[in-house]
């Protein structure tokens, strides 16, 4: 749907394991690129100035605010969005934990928080509650009051460490 433009430029990247080659405006944000050119509408836009964290994606394995990144800056990158977390119909243990612990209400902030937590647990597989709170303090959730999110992260960490079976209720 983008306006044809003479200033367009080519970008290539991998999005959830699929190679994507497109021609885009240089000013097109990565979030718009993912949502509108790649169909990854799980990337949500809550503020478009890098504070709320809803647009968080993994860029070469590290979290990035896709609203404050241009698509052209992600040239050659490997991008994971929330759509890339589940294994087919099988939810990721982190997603299962959020389901079990009511870690989401409206679900709008959830994709960004899931990816933030994925990075957090990769860096620190056994975080304290305080470390979890610190780890997600760059993401705004307006619904939950955060406690059930912290519960979910603690539980998911135990599952991912292999200390506990996934409980898909």
Partner 1 sequence: MAERFPSSEPVSGDSRQGDYRHSRVVGASVPRREDPRLLAGRGRFVDDIALPGMLHAQFVRSSEAFAEIVSVDLSEVRAVPGVVAAYAAADLDLRDITALLDRPAHEFVPTAMPVLARDTVRYVGEPIAIVVATDPYAAEDGVEAAVVEYAPREPVVSDLGALAEGAPLVHPEAPRNTLVDVSLFATEGIDALFEAAHTVVEVHTKTGRQNALPLETRGVVADWDDRDEQLRVQTCTQVPHQVRTVLAACVGLAEKQVRVTVPDMGGGFGQKCVVGREEIVAAAAALRLRRPVKWIEDRRDALTAAFLAREQRYAVRAAFSETGEILALDADVVCDMGAYSCYPFTAGIEPLMASAEMPSVYTVPAYRVRGRAVTTNKAPTAPYRGVSRPQYVMVMERVMEKAARALGLDPLEVRRRNLITVFPYTGVNAITYDPGSYRESLDLCEQTLRDEGWFDRRSDGVIGIGFACFSERTGYGSGAFAQRRMQVVPGFDLSEIRMDLDGTVSVTTGTLSHGQSHETTMAQIVADRLGIPYDRVKIVQGDTDRITYGWGSFASRSITIGGSAVAAASVKLGDQLREIAAHLLGGDPAAAVLEDGGVRLEDGRLSFPEIADVAYLRSHLLPKGVGPGLAATASFDVAGDGTFSNATHGVVVELDPGTGGVEILRYVCVEDCGVAIHPQVVEGQARGGIAQGIAGALFEVVRYDDAGQPLAPSFMEYKVPTAAEIPDVRIEHLETPCAFTENGAKGAGEGGTIGAPAAVLNAINDALRHTGVELDDTPIPREAIFRALEAS
Site residues (CB under 8 A) for partner 1?
1-3, 25, 27-28, 32, 35-36, 40-49, 51-52, 54, 81-83, 85-86, 91, 95, 98-100, 102, 104-111, 114, 129, 132-134, 136-150, 169
Contact 13, 77 (CB under 8 A): yes
The least distance separating partner 1 from the CB of residue 74, rounded to whole angstroms, comes to 18
Query: Are 116 and 147 contacting, i.e. CB atoms less than 8 angstroms apart?
Result: no
Rounded to the nearest whole angstrom, what is the least distance from the CB of residue 9 to partner 1 in the complex? 15
Say how far apart CA 83 and CA 111 lie, in whole Å.
9
When the beta carbons of 13 and 151 are compared against partner 1, the nearer one is 151
Q: Taking the complex as a whole, how short is the minimal distance between the CB of residue 126 and partner 1, in angstroms?
A: 18
48 vs 78, beta carbon nearer partner 1: 48
> The tokens 């990247």 sit on which residue?
13
Nearest CB to partner 1, comparing residues 63 and 139: 139
Tokens of 25: 């405006």
The nearest distance, CB 45 to partner 1, in angstroms, is 7
Q: How far is the CB of 162 from partner 1 (least distance, A)?
A: 22
- Burial class, 2, CB count within 10 angstroms (exposed 0-12 / middle 13-18 / buried 19+): middle
Nearer to partner 1, 27 or 161 (CB): 27
C-beta closer to partner 1: residue 78 or 99: 99
Q: What Å distances lie between residue 131 and 51, 115, 124, 127, 142, CA to CA?
A: 19, 16, 9, 6, 20
- DSSP label at residue 145: -
Q: Give the whole-angstrom CA distance, residue 151 versus residue 54.
A: 20
């Amino acid at each position: 749907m983008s306006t044809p433009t003479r200033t367009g430029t080519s970008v290539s990247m991998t999005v959830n394991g699929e190679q994507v080659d497109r021609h885009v405006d240089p000013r097109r944000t990565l979030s718009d690129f993912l949502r509108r050119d790649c169909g990854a509408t799980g990337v949500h836009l809550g503020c478009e100035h890098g504070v709320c964290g809803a647009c968080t994606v993994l860029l070469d394995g590290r979290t990035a605010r896709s609203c404050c990144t241009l698509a052209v800056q992600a040239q050659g990158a490997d991008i994971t969005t929330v759509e890339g977390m589940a294994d087919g119909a099988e939810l990721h243990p982190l997603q299962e934990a959020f389901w079990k612990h009511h870690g989401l209400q409206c679900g709008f902030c959830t994709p960004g928080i899931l990816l933030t937590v994925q990075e957090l647990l990769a860096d620190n597989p056994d975080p304290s509650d305080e470390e979890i709170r610190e780890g997600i303090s760059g993401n705004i959730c307006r619904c939950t009051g955060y406690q059930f999110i912290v519960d979910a992260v603690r539980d998911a960490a135990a599952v991912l460490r292999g200390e506990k079976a996934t409980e898909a209720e």
